[in-house]
């Protein structure tokens, strides 16, 4: 016999509305074309220089990165915080920054076609601030036009010198 045990955050994954709402959409509720995107933007933020463990990334932080240079037709935003460098250490899951619950509304207003918000953080939720994390998940997912978080992306190899990328 073999017993295998994994945490519920093992590798890159997309949260769906049903994750926080029993009546929310599941994977099969989306048409196949939904999963494709052409307008992808990347934001680069060095959380080691600007954030304390468990601190929340909010719309002010993101607005400073955007500087009105991102196309409002953007469908996918990837946020590289640099925290991916800590994937092999306890701090990665125990003290990562989280996402402020007000950020999804700011993203919806700024990018009406946004479908995905990917990040190199283990979750939208910081272990150090679980209630804000639950609220942030709901803000992303419980809406007529949800923005699906892509969590636990390893963006370490994503170069910060790509011509269409923004760096702060």
Complete DSSP assignment for the chain:
-------S--SSEE--GGGT-TTS--GGGS-GGGG--S-EEEEE--HHHH--TTPEE-HHHHHHHHTT-S-TT--EEEEE-SGGGGTTSHHHHHS--EE-TTHHHHHHHH-TT--EEEESSS-SSBTTBHHHHHHHHHHHHSSSS--EEEES---TTS-TT-TT-EE-
pLDDT tens per residue across all 168 residues of the chain = 888 877 666 789 999 999 888 889 999 999 999 999 999 999 988 887 777 777 889 888 888 888 656 778 999 999 999 998 998 999 888 889 999 999 999 999 999 999 999 999 999 998 888 889 899 999 999 878 899 999 999 998 888 765 444 444
pLDDT at residue 16 in the model: 93
């Amino acid at each position: 016999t073999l017993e295998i045990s994994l945490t519920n955050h093992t590798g890159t994954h997309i949260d769906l509305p049903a994750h926080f709402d029993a009546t929310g959409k599941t994977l099969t509720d989306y048409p196949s074309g939904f999963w494709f995107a052409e307008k992808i933007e990347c934001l680069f933020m060095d959380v080691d220089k600007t954030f304390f463990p468990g601190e929340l990334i909010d719309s002010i932080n993101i607005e400073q990165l955007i500087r009105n240079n991102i196309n409002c037709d953007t469908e996918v935003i990837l946020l590289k915080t640099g925290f991916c460098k800590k994937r092999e250490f306890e701090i990665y899951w125990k003290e990562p920054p989280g996402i402020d619950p007000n950020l999804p509304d700011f993203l919806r207003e700024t990018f009406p076609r946004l479908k995905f918000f990917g990040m190199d953080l283990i979750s939208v939720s910081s272990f150090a601030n679980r209630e804000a994390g639950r609220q942030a998940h709901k803000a992303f997912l419980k809406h007529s036009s949800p923005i699906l978080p892509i969590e636990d992306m390893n963006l370490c190899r994503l170069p910060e010198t790509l011509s269409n990328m923004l760096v702060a």
